[in-house]
Amino acid sequence: MFNIILALFAGILIGWNFHSFFLALDAPKILRDDFNISQTFLDKNESENEGNSTIAPIKAVKKIEVLKKETAQKVYQPIKTSFYSLLHNGLFSDAMALYQQASYERILFYRSTLKEYFEKENMTNQEKTIRELLEYIAIDPENGESQLFLSKIYKERKEYEEAIKTLNELIEANTHIESDILYTALIDTARLYIDSLKKSKSYQELQTFLETQIRQNIKSSFFTFALAEYHVSMQSFNTATILLKDIEFDDEYGERAKALLLKIEKNETNKEEYAYKLPLRQEGSHFTIDVTIDDTPLTLLLDTGATLTFIDEEKLPSSLTLINDNIKVKTTGGEISAQLKMAQSFTVGEIKLKDFKITTSSFTQENADGLLGMNFFQKFKFKIDQEKSLLFLSKKE
């Protein structure tokens, strides 16, 4: 009986040893199925845990998870951090070089990254943001969001001309941005610019801006109505009426145009004493006006004491005809030698004169290219409204 018990115990002991041996050889299924584990790693893990078949598989599983995380970071982290690090370490041009080499999918990711970057930079350094935005837009002009953001920065800085120019280009480019958003931004910015020009009495710049916008035919009904209102304020009712007639049946501004036309008709000042009202710019105690001589734009000081209109010889076009190359002209500094020439055309506002005589010599005056003299004024009945910076003119009978 004792021998039977002894044999049974020996069999159990031998069987347990075989079980432990095969358990060590046959690791859990998670180890066999994980394709990221190399044989080198398994061999290293077994050697480190030799003699402990229960602990070895658990440690192996933990190391596998760590290895998988490290591998994922090595695959994706360099792509992400390289673009970020270039931007945030002042290497914007290098970031743009990486941008140009990227795939379309990667560019979409970079665009969202740049949007966040520009918004953050704008809060601390707008000039730097503008420079980098311009560099980026040159590389990717199809990203209309960046141009729209640039126009907003210009608007915040009260650089309205640049903001409007950017919006005009964006509208003409037919980007994916909704037209209502762009037109609203354009009109809001234009209103601010118009108000600023009125406040500073920069009437010539205001008229030129509105006329330029109308020629570009971008939301022209708004700018046409604004220009008509400007001419009404200047009492140029005939010009205002012509403009309002153009938009009398416009869906958006037609009713407002009709109302303003009715106001003009009822206004007794419609019977003007002066046919022309030209905006002036005040330069200290003097006034300047913009003229065009043979298609060359110039700015002249009003000088009713000068007999002839006087122009800086370096600013004149070569098309002028020489009449006399040595005449004497009296100036505040004394008598000087000058040339007498003939211009084919001399234009001031809506007034255009032919075969207009001028004198030319050296002229140094800040913000002016010469003097508008009496040989112009004597052709008209004129009045200067210094408070409103206006020149009133009517041709003499």
Count of alpha carbons within 13 Å of 185, Cβ hemisphere only?
Answer: 26
Give CA–CA dist 355/346, Å, rounded: 8
Q: Report DSSP state, residue 315.
A: G
Q: What is the pLDDT of residues 77-99, one digit of tens each?
A: 444 458 888 888 889 999 999 99
Residue 114 CA from chain centroid, whole number: 17
Question: Token pair for residue 176?
Answer: 């994916």
At 15 the pLDDT is: 62
pTM assigned to the model: 0.56
Q: What value does the mean pLDDT take over residues 376-397?
A: 84
Give CA–CA dist 93/136, Å, rounded: 9
Q: What value does the mean pLDDT take over residues 110-127?
A: 92
Q: What is the pLDDT of residues 228-281, one digit of tens each?
A: 999 888 778 888 999 999 999 999 999 999 999 998 887 744 455 678 888 998
Look at phi and psi of residue 244 and say left if phi exceeds 0, alpha if psi is from -120 to 50, else beta: alpha
The dihedral over CA atoms of 214, 217, 219, 222, expressed in degrees to the nearest 10, equals: 20
